[in-house]
A and B are shown apart, each in its own frame.
Chain A
Amino acid sequence: MSTPATRTLAPRLSAALAIFVVMAAVPPLALALDDPFLMVIASRMLVFAIAALSLDLILGYGAMVSFGHAAYLGIGAYAVALGARWGVTDLLAQILLGMGMSAAFATVTGAISLRTRGVYFIMITLAFAQMAYFFFVAQSSLGGDDGVALQARSTLLGLPLEGDQTLYYTILGALVAIYAGLYRLTLSRFGRVLKGTRENALRMQAIGYRPFRYQLVAYVIAACLCSVAGVLLANLTEYVSPAYMSWHRSGELIVMLVFGGIGTLTGAVAGALVAVGLEELLAVFSEHWRLGFGLILVLVVLFSPDGLTGLMRRLGLRAPGLRNDGEGRGDD
């Protein structure tokens, strides 16, 4: 049953591998060009690739359009600030802390949000993320609205994450590990149930599954993985503020995903690179880069939906039975 799926996914896997190899070559290139800013941009790309990947699990594979995913980016970042305050400087311990906090928040808000569908789900996830945002804005001991600067980066197994290269390869390592994990997960039985629910929740119920449980578990997993991106982002900027979980950030995560194509994992990585790159590129031309970014976004959605792999799946969703790709048949 997994043979046809593996065959259709293989090109995606090699594309992802190519991206990882190219990104691994960035630090020596930046050194050769003597351009430290290149490293900063590339690091940001990788961090947001992790966040976009985690969103792809629920949005792409679960058809849950969460407009509050950046909340977990912020929770991960605050895990670093809180960890440093409590004397926990190890990266892995901070990741565990961020995951724990994210899992708690995602379990409660996810269980409530998943009682709803469609536009309700979009608005509720947005509202819960705003709630988390205001919670951290009110924490005056953590700098409130202004945020807090970190004293130092985290340590990894006792070694400090000093030097941009060390941090860069740590982020790249995390990205590859999370990609591989999600790739396995989406091919597993769990992933197939999730995809089946995306196609038709009623049928999944009819054959004896409870979609709610699978969706909630996926929601929590995505939240935990996104908090890893938050921990790394805080280390990258050595600064933590509620702005990481602003709803603009949640929107940008969705933009990344759609730029690259939803439900493919590789698309999330590619989309994050493209979107962050586009932002940086437009920011070079004008401080009003959002004008151009917004315009590109509107034009892409209006006039070039065919360029987005996601549209094909959504068309398939709208008319089940008319179109049944190999992967879908494999699931049935």
Chain B
Amino acid sequence: MFNLFLLQLLNGAQFGILLFLVAAGLTLVFGIMDFINLAHGVLYMVGAYLMATFAGMTGSYWFGLALALPATLVFGLVLEFLVFRRLYDRSHLDQVLATFGLILMLSEGVKILWGSAPLNVDMPALLSGSVPLAGPLQYPVYRIAVIAAGLASAVGLWALINHTRAGMLLRAGASNRPMVAALGVDISRLFMLVFAGGAMLAGFAGAIVAPILSVDPGMGESILILTFVVIVIGGVGSIRGAFLAAILVGVVDTVGRTFGPIWLRMVMDPAAASQTGRMVAPMLVYLLMAAVLFWSPTGLFGRKGAK
């Protein structure tokens, strides 16, 4: 039982890391530009599809990853140039509509280009196999590598934001945009960089998850909504909040799905427990979100009075 718990905990952490990679770019875009981008999940999906294509073309996971990352970055920049930069000054309603339209277009475009059937990406030989973990328990190396890559990105992001000039401007832009612009900083270029960085992180998450999950046209949307939950819990604009909330949501969701029915069986008969468990488990993260909001309407690390 303990082994199963440990296993689910690790799976949850790995899922949380992925959520963080997608949420990091999105929370910065929300926080700094006050821009609601529903199409962020599409970048995660596009990253996975480009990975599948390039890995298939070159026959190598690593070449695929090396090509997919810049390609997602370019894709994000093109979207920013064509659509998003015209939306920064618009109302939230316009932003919701335009990015919703983009989701419809891009999801359908992916279906036309790659078909609706799920694609698979082969795991690199270096990272396949498992390592022993606490007694008889084995854990796949690839999932550990995903956790490590995500943690490295998180540390890199933290260093970038707290210890570089670009990060300083970014923090300044988040707290007072007009003032930073008045000091002579090219704020629209800063926005573009934030957006491109966020796009690449989301694409990275999609690319590294491709060998574990199947790559399908719905993957962007399912992660987008959980990403929203993460951002709401963590507080808009807070990278630290996004990290903690992402791990929390990942663990609660994964552990809840496995252990919900098991724990419920202790207090009710098995049939009712599995029915209730199946009903409650997918709702757990939303209940968590509601609880956090009830306690603090701007999330765990949200700015007081933030819009």
Residue numbers of A with Cβ under 8 A of B are 59, 65, 67, 109, 112, 115-120, 122-124, 126-128, 130-131, 134-135, 137-140, 247, 251, 254-255, 258, 262, 288, 290-291, 293-298, 300-302, 305, 310, 314
Contacts and interface: CB of A to CB of B under 8 A. Distances in A.
Contacts of B152: none
B111 A118 contact: no
Given A65-B93, A124-B293, A118 B307 contact: yes
Nearest to A314: B91
B225 A112 contact: no
Tell me if A's interface is mostly helix, strand, loop or mixed: helix
B92 A119 contact: yes
A321 B236 CA distance: 30
A120 B86 contact: no
Interface string B276-305: 001100110011011001100111000000
A301 B297 contact: no
A294 B282 contact: no
Interface stretch (B1-9, B100-108, B189-197): B100-108
B133 to A, nearest CB: 31
Contacts of B112: 288, 291
Given A255-B100, A288-B108, A120 B232 contact: yes
B248 to A, nearest CB: 15
Contacts of B216: none
Given A126-B228, A127-B229, A288-B108, A119 B236 contact: yes
A290 B279 contact: no
A288 B111 contact: yes
Most A CB contacts (10 A, CB to CB) among B38, B101, B294 go to: B101
Contact of B294 (A115, A131, A314): A115
B94 A305 contact: yes
Contacts, number: 134
Contact of A251 (B86, B100, B236, B283): B100
B97 interface: yes
Interface of B: 30, 34, 36, 38, 83, 86-87, 90-94, 96-98, 100-109, 111-112, 221, 225, 228-229, 231-232, 236, 275, 278-279, 282-283, 286-287, 289-290, 293-294, 297-299, 307
Contacts of A124: 232, 289, 293
Contacts of B307: 117-119
Contacts of A247: 221, 225
Contact of B232 (A127, A254, A296, A300): A127
A31 B77 CA distance: 53
Given A298-B102, A305-B94, A291 B293 contact: no
Contacts of B231: 123
B105 A120 contact: no
A142 to B, nearest CB: 11
Contact of B83 (A115, A131, A139, A302): A302
26 contacts: A59-B93, A65-B92, A112-B290, A115-B297, A116-B298, A123-B229, A123-B231, A124-B232, A126-B228, A127-B228, A127-B286, A131-B282, A131-B283, A131-B287, A134-B283, A135-B279, A137-B282, A254-B100, A255-B97, A290-B104, A291-B104, A298-B83, A301-B94, A302-B87, A305-B94, A314-B93
Contacts of B102: 294, 298
A129 B287 CA distance: 12
